[in-house]
Structure 1
Amino acid sequence: MAIEGALGAALVDYDSGMSLGTIGGGPGLNLEVAAAGNTEVVRAKLRTLEALAIDDSIEDILITLHGQYHIIRLLERGGHGRLFLYLALNRERANLALARHHLRRIEGELSV
């Protein structure tokens, strides 16, 4: 939540769709619902890459709303399992490039 403009964040297992931990959120941002919904986004994109025979991996998925940014960062498979970090940002207050940089740093420091 120290990332400028952060509204909420979650660590999500995209096999089950369950969040392993959340911070922030509130009446306008139900992180449990967001975790489940974004799991479907991740699964759909992975299926699409497979169908297109694209031999690459997803780093980030960015969803832009009029008032928010939603960043989904898939964690590297090495030791983390099938997890992603989800971060919702207030678009007026956030710096998207810095937020992505912070998520990369958090991923490197994460111990699951």
Structure 2
Amino acid sequence: MTGGNAIRGTRVGSGPAVGESERGEAAPRKRVDYWCANAHHSRPSFAMDAEVPEEWDCPRCGLPAGLDQENPPEARRNEPYKSHLAYVKERRSDADGMAILEEALSKLRERKGR
């Protein structure tokens, strides 16, 4: 059973005027229309004095959305994940790798021999 001090039917932060005196009035807003290549439409709001971006990520599919409904921006090309070894193989040939390996192994053998 709850205590006798609880106000039934309300919760913290409910009601339109709660906290407005503390936070002040909201800045004037404007809604901007964006369309993606999948014909999804989104209308984010921006402050009146804010610079409106040319592209916005579509909240439904994640593709870039643009201001022109007839010519939405094309999907960005995703680069596949590359491991450290893949980047090393781009910089070095197999012969270079074998030479480096032989050098490292000879140093290890030299140390072990002492």
TM-score, normalised relative to structure 2: 0.24
Larger radius of gyration: 2
Structure with bigger strand share is: 1
Structure with bigger helix share is: 1
Larger relative contact order (C-alpha < 8 A, sep ≥ 6)? 1
